[in-house]
């Protein structure tokens, strides 16, 4: 069965620090990859996605992620975090051509940014 | 454009009771998925409906069921509630399914507490 691992449960950073959140998945076939974010008191929303093409994808609010197929990884990065980036971040995978509505989520990483 | 609406937002039930949760997707979206979110297990896929048909199902017992109506609104039902069913139940919609468009639009969830 597919699985998604997010190795950091809680990350605490100061403003302007760089961010990298790890995500690894277990699936040998073609995958679609996603990062979702849940700001405090708000619903989950899409941050960025990878379907095909350039393995470096850019999302909203200055976030980017790099798909490294050989490492089964899809790490999220941001060069300089802001207090408003405090949220929970979820990596997710959907097997290409598989079930239409099934995303497998990692358990999430809480990011706390100190002002 | 209205987002995904879930009702009720909060509810408290006792063991053995049943509960029905409702979800109104974004207008024009035909796919509705349900997820259970708990601190220990994270986000877990329950099922997905498309054009009134269950298209995919996660690994939950038969006490969890759902349906979709012709206007794409969906309901999920949990019978014979157990303490472990306490969770945030999230509904997500998309036009044709996550493999097609790459994005799920989530509601704010229904928080169920079982006493």
Distance in Å, alpha carbon of A89 to nearest chain B alpha carbon: 12
**Pick from B33, B90, B99: which is nearest to A98 by CB?**
B99
For residues A2-13, give the mean pLDDT. 92
| Residue B49 reports pLDDT greater than 70 | yes
Q: Could you say which DSSP state residue B28 is in?
A: T
d(CA A10, CA A29): 30
Burial of B39 (0-12, 13-18, 19+ CB in 10 A): exposed
Which chain A residues are within 8 Å of B31, Cβ to Cβ? Answer: 100-101
* Residues of A whose CB is below 8 A from B29: none
Which residue among B45, B99, B106 sits closest to A97, beta carbon to beta carbon?
B99
Of A11-20, B83-92, B96-105, the range with the lowest mean pLDDT is B96-105
DSSP-assigned states of every residue in B73-105: -EEEEE-S--GGG-EEEEEEEESS-HHHHS--E
Q: Is the pLDDT confidence value at B110 over 70? A: yes
Q: Above 70 in pLDDT, residue A96?
A: no
Q: How many other C-beta atoms lie within 10 A of the C-beta of residue B54?
A: 14
CB contact under 8 A, A101 and B109: no
Among residues A32, A25, A27, the alpha carbon closest in space to that of A53 is found at A32
What are A38-76's pLDDT values in tens digits?
999 899 999 999 988 999 999 999 999 999 999 999 999
Q: No. of H helices and E strands in chain B?
A: 1, 11
Mean pLDDT of A77-97: 90
Token digits for B50? 């498309």
pLDDT band at B72 (very low <50, low <70, confident <90, very high): very high
């Amino acid at each position: 069965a597919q699985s998604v691992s997010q190795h950091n449960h809680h990350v605490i950073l100061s403003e302007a620090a760089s961010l990298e959140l790890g995500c690894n998945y277990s699936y040998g076939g073609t995958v679609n990859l996603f990062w979702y974010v849940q700001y405090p008191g708000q619903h989950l929303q899409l941050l960025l996605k990878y379907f095909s093409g350039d393995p470096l994808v850019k999302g909203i609010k200055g976030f980017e992620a790099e798909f490294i197929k050989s490492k089964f990884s899809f790490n999220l990065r941001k060069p300089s975090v802001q207090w408003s980036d405090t949220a929970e971040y979820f990596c997710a995978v959907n097997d290409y051509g598989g079930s239409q509505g099934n995303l497998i989520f990692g358990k999430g990483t809480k990011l706390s940014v100190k002002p | 454009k209205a987002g995904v609406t879930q009702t009720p937002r909060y509810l408290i039930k006792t063991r053995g009771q049943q509960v029905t949760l409702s979800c109104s997707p974004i207008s024009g979206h035909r796919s509705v998925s349900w997820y259970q979110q708990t601190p220990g297990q994270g986000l877990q896929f329950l099922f997905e409906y498309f054009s009134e048909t269950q298209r995919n199902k996660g690994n939950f017992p038969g006490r969890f069921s759902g349906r979709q109506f012709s206007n794409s609104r969906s309901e999920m039902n949990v019978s014979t509630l157990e303490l472990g069913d306490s969770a945030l139940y999230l509904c997500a919609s998309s036009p044709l399914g996550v493999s097609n468009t790459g994005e799920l639009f989530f509601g704010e969830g229904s928080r169920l507490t079982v006493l």
